[in-house]
Amino acid sequence: MTAVTVEAVEEVGTRTVALTLETPGGFDAEPGQFLLVRATIDGSEERRSSGNRSETGGVEETGYYTLSSPDTDGTMEITVEYVPEGTLAPWLAERTAGDEISIEGPFGDVRYTGEGDAVVLAEGPGIGPAVGIAERAREGGHDATVVFWGEDPPHRDRLDALEADGATVLVVESLDEAVDSLTGSDATVYVFGFESFVRDAKTVAEATGAADVRAESFGPR
C-alpha cells in the first residue's frame, strides 16, 4: 500500500470527478489499468458498511479505479462516478488538494501501451480510460475513436480537444450506431463499463469482425 497526495479534484461531469494524484517514485502504469484505493471512512458518516470496522471506529472500504490519464509521468488521474448512497466513491469526491489516499497496483491486463489504432467503447466512468487511451494514441500519431453510450459524457473538454486533434468521438443511444466505426477497422477495440454494457459491447464489436477486443468490467451496477 502506498500513500499518494491528491493534487487536484475537478468536477468533470454529472456526479463525476477526476482526481489528479502524485505518481509515487518507481510507479508505472498504462491507461486501462486500475488502482485499488483503500480508505478508512469515519464511522460517524453513517454510510453503508460492507467493509471491516477498524479499531478507531472507521470502516475500511476498498474500490478499483481505472487510470484516465494518458500516462503516469509525474501525475496520474482517476475518474470517479459516485452515487450519494455509495461509500468510497462519494468519499473520494470529497477529497481536496493536499489530502493523501492509499493505493495499491497497478492491476489489469487490459492496457494501451501506445501501439496501434484504438477504438474505445465506454459507458459511465468508462469514459475515463477512453479519454486516456485516445490521448495516448493521438500522441503516438495513431487513429483513435471514442464511442460513449449514454448522454452528456464527462470529460467533454478533453473529448472536444481529441476531436479537434483528429480523433472520432461518438455519443450514442444505441451501440448499433458504432457499427460503421468498427466494421473493416483493424484497430484494437477496448471496452470499459459495468457488466451488462461490457457484455453487449463485446457482442457488437465481435459481430463486426473486430479481431482484438479487450474488455474490463467494472462489476455489476
Q: Which of 69, 82, 138, 146: binder of ligand FAD (CB under 6 A)? A: 82
CB of 55 to ligand FAD, least distance (A): 21
Q: How far is the CB of 34 from ligand FAD (least distance, A)?
A: 4
The residue number whose beta carbon is nearest to ligand FAD equals 86
Q: How does DSSP assign 99-130, residue by residue? A: -EEEEEEEE-S----S-S-EEEEEEGGGHHHH
Q: How far is the CB of 53 from ligand FAD (least distance, A)?
A: 15
Q: From its phi and psi, is residue 201 left (phi > 0), alpha (psi between -120 and 50) or beta?
A: alpha
Instruction: Report the Cα 79 to chain-centroid distance in Å.
Output: 5
Binding of residue 30 to ligand FAD (CB under 6 A): no
Q: Which is nearer to ligand FAD, 20 or 87 (CB)?
A: 87
Contact residues for 33 (Cβ-Cβ < 8 A; gap 6+): 66, 67, 105, 106, 107, 108, 110, 111
The residues facing 35 across adjacent strands are: 65
In whole angstroms, the minimum distance from the beta carbon of 161 to ligand FAD comes to 20
Select from 49, 56, 60 the least CA-distant residue to 1: 60
Torsion angle, CA of 147/165/65/23, rounded to 10 degrees?
A: 170
User: What is the closest distance, in whole angstroms, from the C-beta atom of residue 210 to ligand FAD in the complex?
Assistant: 21
**Residue among 88 and 187 whose Cβ is closer to ligand FAD:** 88
The C-alpha atoms of residue 174 and residue 163 are separated, in whole angstroms, by 21
| Nearer CB in complex with ligand FAD: 141/220 | 220
- Told to check if 218 binds ligand FAD by CB under 6 A, we report yes
Binding to ligand FAD, residues 106-145 (CB under 6 A): 124-125, 128
83 sits near ligand FAD (criterion: CB under 6 A)? yes
188: contact with ligand FAD by CB under 6 A = no
Q: Are 12 and 79 in contact (CB under 8 A)?
A: yes
Residues at the contact surface with ligand FAD, assessed by CB under 6 A: 34, 48, 61, 63-66, 78-83, 85-90, 124-125, 128, 216, 218-219, 221
